[in-house]
Amino acid sequence: MPKQYKLETYRWPDGERYCHLLDTETGLPHQQSLLYVTSQIRNRGLSLSAMQSAFNAIHVLLLHFANEKIFIEQRFAQRDFLTPAECDRVLRAAQKHMGPATKARTNVAPFESGKRGYTPPVKKVASATAYTRLTEIANYLQWLAQAVGGSTMTPAQYIELERMHANILKLRPPVRSLSRDPELNAWSAQDDLLLQEIIKPGSSRNPFKSLSTQTRNYLAIQILRITGKRKGELLNIQARDIDARRQQLNIVRRPDSKLDPRLDQPRVKTREHTIAITEELIQLYQDYLGHRRKVPGASKHPYLFVNHKSGPTQGQPMSKGALEEVFRTVKKIEPRIAHLHPHLLRHHFNEKLSEQFDRRTGPRNEDEEAKIRANLNGWSEHSEMAKVYNKRHIARKARDAGLKTQDAIANIVNHSKA
């Protein structure tokens, strides 16, 4: 029977989150993958999610080698690398969906009926997932071959190793860009009104039962809407990060915090920064603090947003999954905003910021505008991220300019005919 592995994530005493592939037969971590992820990913300062992504890809590879009876370390010790045909089979393994609900089933008809059994095709993962898996697999195999026999490889063998690495990378499927039409994920004023109507505390359409949960969700979504913060930044906010007297919100980086019991710790991807917030948002924050104080267990940590539902996690910091469930619940009762997700509100904030710049009088100072946007989003002054978040606004202005140009040309033609 092939070996089975599972990904285990845990927190060390110093607060660092880590993970490994556990060999379920021996109860020990898979040594080579652990060494690879530690030396090549963790020691570069990459995130827990990057480590998990690498382990998941290696897990797919290990299962494939077990099924194919490929003893890769023995082969690499003999400088025997994967052939192009074997690389192609690695591609097919990387494309397989590993979820339990997608295991192949065989429906066998009674023998008397004369019908053959049917095995439905194995479901495939998205192209982006297969692309990531193959990238991690190619890099892991290259590292493993060098770790096993790199010191005694000849130049010709190094060339063969590089050819194997390149063969796997070439097999990565193309990933379609999601930015073809900026209007596809537009968040309109009507969408915004619908969202406000649903999530306002006390609303008859609010799908959340308790007033305390409604108040929490409303504050969380208002922060996302009004400030354009990421969901990791939102869930990382501690109660003290909002300064009511100065009317400001501090975004603070807290990697591997001992105070955070969440294994999948929300992270601040941007620089630390401070932004001004409205009196209305301060009032919502103070209203929510009144509800938070009554939640059992909430006083054991400093994080602002907590779980309100009774149970073993009551009072603990709100998780990414819990926030995403809030958005899923809202979308279920209002199909017209089915495209809503937390990051869309960040794009919406930046589009409104672009409109604010357009309304300013006097000569345009694009360098100053870029610095303002960078400051509000927590980017460096030289970041290229502004181009990403300003894409829809530019596309809309280009559309308007194009239509005006077409009208002008048409008017010239019509005038000449007259």
- For residue 104, pLDDT over 90 is answered with no
Confidence of residue 180 (pLDDT cuts 50, 70, 90): low
Neighbours of 350 (CB within 10 A): 22
- In tens, the pLDDT along 373-403 reads 999 999 988 888 877 777 767 777 777 788 7
Question: Rounded to whole angstroms, how far apart are CA atoms 368 and 111?
Answer: 77
| pLDDT computed for residue 114 by the predictor | 47
Region 82-108 average pLDDT: 76
Contact 256, 14 (CB under 8 A): yes
Contact 212, 308 (CB under 8 A): yes
Cα torsion through 199, 205, 211, 213, rounded to 10:
-50
Per-residue CA distances from 342 to 13, 223, 255 (Å): 32, 11, 21
Instruction: Supply φ then ψ for residue 409, to 5 degrees.
Output: -65, -40
- In tens, the pLDDT along 107-147 reads 444 444 445 555 556 689 999 999 999 999 999 999 999 99
Q: Quick one: which of 153, 151, 22, 140 has its CA closest to 80?
A: 153
Cα torsion through 172, 56, 81, 126, rounded to 10:
-20
Structure tokens at 252: 């603070």
Q: Could you tell me which residues are beta bridge partners of residue 17? A: 11
